Amino acid sequence: MATHRPLYVAIATMTLTMASAAMAADYPSRPITLVVPFAAGGPTDVVARSLGAELGKELKQPIVVENRTGAGGTVAAAHVANAQPDGYTYLIHHNGMATAPALYSSLKYDPLKSFEYVGEVVDVPMTLLARKDFPPNNMAEFIEYAKANADKINLANAGPGAVSQLCGSLLQQALGLKFTTIPYQGTGPAMTALLGSQVDVLCDQTTQTIPHIQAGNVKFYGVTTKDRISKLPDAPTLNEQGLKDFDVKVWHGIYAPKGTPAQDVAVFNNALKTALNSPAFKQKMADLGAEIVSEERQTPESLQNWVQSEINKWTPVLKAEGINVN
Ligand code: MLT
């Protein structure tokens, strides 16, 4: 018997290899869910739906976008971390993946252990806006007004873990002022509140704000990146308007639950690379001021390293600020 063992092992290994090759060839055989941690219609949702359309063409299965809002993106991340690792649930998330550990002491997932990384997607600058009937007309006037009226200013955001909250916090820190913050389930509804003059100020991604800036629906004080952006070349940065070294950029990545088969992640990653290269997605992102990440960043390894480096960067900053949600 013992002499036949290598043969059995070889046959078993071959059968397994053939079975997993067949499974990989079959994948995906049904619709895939892409979970978005913020409200429909907002900037993350815009990227997810545009990308989902291209991924769907490539994978030959519909990509169903599911908005799971709450707790600055952590509800959605916990949901995906605990979903079946069967290749049919993915998460798109931004900087919040790396800032949440410093903000929430009872996170139900670990950004470094609970996911398979798929790849990075786009970088998006942010813009500082105010309601159209807010008195200051530019950044210099806003700074002067804010110094005299800080206790009257309402700043909308999407809760701790959201980039609107990060940007708003850094703004208050840079000005040495405290405003009243009003959290929403995403900056989609926060923008609706701004347009309805229910809040005064919002820091939000160009993927939502450019159409409103161009239509003159809001007052626009500047961009949050260190350098000016090509989509709004005449718009000054906050950095050049006195907020020294102000530099906030949003990065988006795709994740799967830990344990998702490596071959499924590889199939999804290939589809992601093709989608990021598609003329329709490129055009849409260019129109909205977003930049598709370089080829090297479209990989699982790059996203994993980036999340780690962003956790290292932001944890001390946010802890020093003392914002902590249980
Ligand atoms: C959204 O999609 O609503 C935003 O990304 C929320 C945020 O500010 O992080």
- Centre of ligand 1 from the C-alpha of residue 36, in Å: 10
Mean pLDDT computed over 17-35: 78
| Amino acid 22: pLDDT | 52
User: Would you kindly state where each structural domain of the chain is located, as residue ranges?
Assistant: 32-123+250-321, 125-223
Q: Is the pLDDT of residue 12 over 80?
A: no
Mean pLDDT computed over 305-309: 98
**Of all residues in the chain, what percent carry a pLDDT higher than 90?**
89
Residue with CA closest to ligand 1 atom 9: 162
**Using 50, 70 and 90 to split pLDDT, how confident is the model at 24?**
low
CB of 136 shorter than 6 A to ligand 1: no
**Using 50, 70 and 90 to split pLDDT, how confident is the model at 310?**
very high
Q: Is the pLDDT of residue 37 over 70?
A: yes
- Centre of ligand 1 from the C-alpha of residue 304, in Å: 21
User: What class does CATH assign to 32-123+250-321?
Assistant: alpha beta
Q: Classify residue 234 as exposed, middle or buried by CB count within 10 Å of its CB (0-12, 13-18, 19+).
A: exposed
| Amino acid 319: pLDDT | 85
**Using 50, 70 and 90 to split pLDDT, how confident is the model at 2?**
very low
| Amino acid 16: pLDDT | 46
**Using 50, 70 and 90 to split pLDDT, how confident is the model at 34?**
very high
Q: What is the largest CA-CA distance in the chain?
A: 89
Tell the CATH topology of 125-223. Answer: D-Maltodextrin-Binding Protein; domain 2 (3.40.190)
Residue with CA closest to ligand 1 atom 8: 164
CB of 187 shorter than 6 A to ligand 1: yes
Q: Which atom of ligand 1 is nearest to the CA of 162?
A: 9
- Centre of ligand 1 from the C-alpha of residue 187, in Å: 5
| Amino acid 4: pLDDT | 52
| Amino acid 20: pLDDT | 53
Q: Identify whether the C-beta of residue 233 lies closer than 8 Å to the C-beta of residue 227.
A: no
Return the best residue to mutate from 44, 47, 182 for the ligand 1 pocket (most ligand atoms within 8 A of CB): 44
| Amino acid 277: pLDDT | 97
CB of 158 shorter than 6 A to ligand 1: yes
- Centre of ligand 1 from the C-alpha of residue 196, in Å: 19
CB of 42 shorter than 6 A to ligand 1: yes
Q: Classify residue 8 as exposed, middle or buried by CB count within 10 Å of its CB (0-12, 13-18, 19+).
A: exposed
Mean pLDDT computed over 84-107: 96
Q: What does the mean pLDDT of the chain come to?
A: 93
**Using 50, 70 and 90 to split pLDDT, how confident is the model at 323?**
low
pLDDT tens for residues 202-215?
A: 999 999 999 999 99
Give CA angle at 293 (288, 296), nearest 5°: 170
| Amino acid 25: pLDDT | 73
Return the best residue to mutate from 164, 165, 191, 250 for the ligand 1 pocket (most ligand atoms within 8 A of CB): 164
Q: Which residues contact 129 (CB under 8 A, 6 or more apart)?
A: 194, 201, 202, 203, 204, 209, 212, 213, 218, 219, 220, 221
CB of 222 shorter than 6 A to ligand 1: no
Of the candidates 321, 320, 317, 326, the one whose C-alpha atom is nearest the C-alpha of residue 98 is 317
Neighbours of 12 (CB within 10 A): 10
User: 32-123+250-321 and 125-223 share one CATH topology?
Assistant: yes
**Residue 181 identity:** T
| Amino acid 219: pLDDT | 98
